[in-house]
Structure 1
Amino acid sequence: MTTPTLDELRTEAKVVSLPLRTRFRGIDTREALLLEGPRGWTEFSPFPEYDDREAATWLAAALDFGWNVPPAPARTRIPVNATIPAVPAASVTDVLARFDGCRTAKVKVAEPGQVLADDVARVRAVREAMGAEGRIRIDANGAWNLDEAEHAVHALAEYDLEYIEQPCMQLDELAELRRRIRYLDIPIAADESVRKAADPLEVARAGAADLLVVKAQPLGGVRAALRIVADAGLPAVVSSALDTSVGLAMGAALAAALPALDYDCGLGTASLLAADVTAETLVPAGGAIDVRRVDADPDLLSAHAAAPDRRDWWLARLERCHALLPS
């Protein structure tokens, strides 16, 4: 692929600010920069706190998806999970209702300002709403230390957890926790230890996880993520980074190209958005989303255009990240 010039990208760039239905990751709106390449619309949306070198990997992914043909799909529909933010237990049923037909729920835990009792109440509410056959996974985003994680696992184990995503941030703690809770038969999944690591394969070599959570944008694109999964030799679940439907289409292309897909994927998060860039949103229907390109709607791009100062911020970031790409 020939990298598009900065002038080409700046001319086509659309910056949007989309409101969320529920506060998530500490934010109430999701900003994204969208581009239209020869293969269709694509997305560049690293979170604002990420530095330029990390964000440049997201730009590489966006250009790959917009300028290259994705790998051949092995499936046309991707089963997805519901995502439950760190809401009060009383709000769980309303959130689940936005995820049509989903048999799996990922529940956020270890939210700053909350305590373990809040997590237990939330997970209990999900189990009661989904019944015995529903699948529940929890995600701590690395917020616990080893002892906190072990204590939390024991408090939540009675709710029949499918797996625990990134309970601790350090690899040695993940490996030790995996050893301590092996008798509970609850797998550990690695997310930040893959996408934010200098070496995304180190977590597999360290025996610190049973499966990987992979995201197309942070890993540099569909092909780059496929290589990581193949080299790690572990099962993978594809997830999103609270993308618009354009970004979710990139994630769906990754999930579609995996040789095996043993877990429901975290690609139903458009249900957390109160607005999107397309009228044909990639929200779950019957517990799955389609593998397809998403075209941004000019009227919605205009309606949700970011404020001028935020557009300028994103264009400056685009310029800095573009300069870090291989020529």
Structure 2
Amino acid sequence: MHLPPLSDLAATARVVALPLVTRFRGIEVREAMLFEGPEGWTEFSPFAEYDDHEASAWLAAAIDYGWSEPPGALRDRVRVNATVPGVDPDSVTAVLARFPGCRTAKVKVAGGDCPLSEDVARVRAVREALGPEGRVRVDANGGWNIDEAEHAIHALAPFDLEYVEQPCATIEELAEIRRRTKYMGIPIAADESVRRADDPLAVAEAGAADLLVIKAQPLGGIHRALRIVEQTGLPVVVSSALDTSVGLAMGARLAASVTELDYDCGLGTASLLAADVTRSPLVPVDGSIPVGRVLPDPDLLARYAVGPQRTDWWLERLGRAYAVLAGAAPASASAPTPTPTFDS
């Protein structure tokens, strides 16, 4: 890809730390770097524990969105799902209320030391809240081994699951659990096995998933993600990684460009943020978000700006990721100061 000068990226770079509504998969604040290109504002927000090689794909996405003309949009709004963290069942109604009009909910399961009984209770509460016409999907983030996944899918099947996302960590495990549970008619979706794999096509080639969860930033941008969709030929769900509304707009443009979009997308996660960088955040309205650029508000950028030391950390990381893209740094270079992973 054509790289603009690093100085152009750094010149407008702003780093923010946005508080979450509730603790979600180990984090309470989401950090992101924003900068402005010829096409508009864009986002670079790999999680802090990702090494420079992985972060470079997120930078490629930011450059793609900020410096390249996006593909044509086939729709001007995108239907999105609610996201239910690992909360207790009594909190489910309050969580869903933050996603008005959403007919679909993705429920986090297999979190930490959480027993299966708590996952079952949470999914039951979501099903009861959405009613029989609602769509319920679960996301294990690769937290089960094959036997645990088989047991869990049996336990959760009575709630009429739309699909199970990343029940196991590896492609081989996904293929095996798909084989074991195929008779149940519950599709298996792959997320981490696509976006964190050296070969994002491998999961489709192995017959390990019925559909793919794709994310613009981890896959290197809208154009590359669309090529992956075309090459795999599998149905897709476009999702996010707890982006600001600037990053969500990138994801919405990707979703708007996918020819067949049969599933509601995981792009409503601005509702999980207690603050954003725009006065008009991309929170769901009637179950969908609009497709279009987001312009950050200068006052909000200033209010949620990180301190000088953290800004320097992000600028140094930007430089290392840029060097990887330019072929001037080893892929094994790592970013310091690990923090807990979030996968949406």
* Both proteins in one fold, TM over 0.5: yes
Deviation (angstroms), 1:297:
0.5
Which residue in the other structure is 1:102 paired with? 102
> For 2:325, what is the secondary structure of its paired residue?
coil
> For 1:48, what is the secondary structure of its paired residue?
coil
Deviations, residues 132-169 of structure 1 (Å, cap 9, x unaligned):
11100000000100000000001100000000000001
Flag the 1:113–1:308 CA change in 2: closer, same or farther, 3 A.
farther
CA–CA separation in structure 2 for the residues paired with 1:231 and 1:297: 38
Which residue in the other structure is 2:302 paired with? 302
- TM-score, scaled to structure 2: 0.94
What are the equivalent positions in structure 2 for 1:171-250 lying under 5 Å apart? Answer: 171-250=171-250
CA–CA separation in structure 2 for the residues paired with 1:75 and 1:302: 33
Deviations, residues 49-99 of structure 1 (Å, cap 9, x unaligned):
100000000000001101111000011110000000111111110000000
> For 1:19, what is the secondary structure of its paired residue?
strand
Q: Percent identity?
A: 68
Deviation (angstroms), 1:307:
2.1
Which residue in the other structure is 1:282 paired with? 282
> For 1:324, what is the secondary structure of its paired residue?
helix
What are the equivalent positions in structure 2 for 1:57-136 lying under 5 Å apart? Answer: 57-136=57-136
CA–CA separation in structure 1 for the residues paired with 2:33 and 2:267: 19
> For 1:243, what is the secondary structure of its paired residue?
coil
Which residue in the other structure is 2:336 paired with? none
Unaligned 5+ runs, structure 2: 328-344
Which residue in the other structure is 1:169 paired with? 169
CA–CA separation in structure 2 for the residues paired with 1:25 and 1:198: 25
CA–CA separation in structure 2 for the residues paired with 1:254 and 1:56: 19
Which residue in the other structure is 1:34 paired with? 34
Q: Which residue identity lines up with residue 37 of structure 2 in the other structure? A: G
Which residue in the other structure is 1:144 paired with? 144
Q: Which residue identity lines up with residue 306 of structure 1 in the other structure? A: V
- TM-score, scaled to structure 1: 0.99
CA–CA separation in structure 1 for the residues paired with 2:316 and 2:240: 24
RMSD: 0.9
Question: Where do 4+ consecutive residues of structure 1 move more than 6 Å?
Answer: none
Count of residue pairs brought into register by the alignment:
327
Q: Which residue identity lines up with residue 260 of structure 2 in the other structure? A: A
> For 2:33, what is the secondary structure of its paired residue?
strand
Which residue in the other structure is 2:153 paired with? 153
Which residue in the other structure is 2:55 paired with? 55
Q: Which residue identity lines up with residue 247 of structure 1 in the other structure? A: G
Deviations, residues 246-298 of structure 1 (Å, cap 9, x unaligned):
00000001000001001000000000000000001101000000001000100
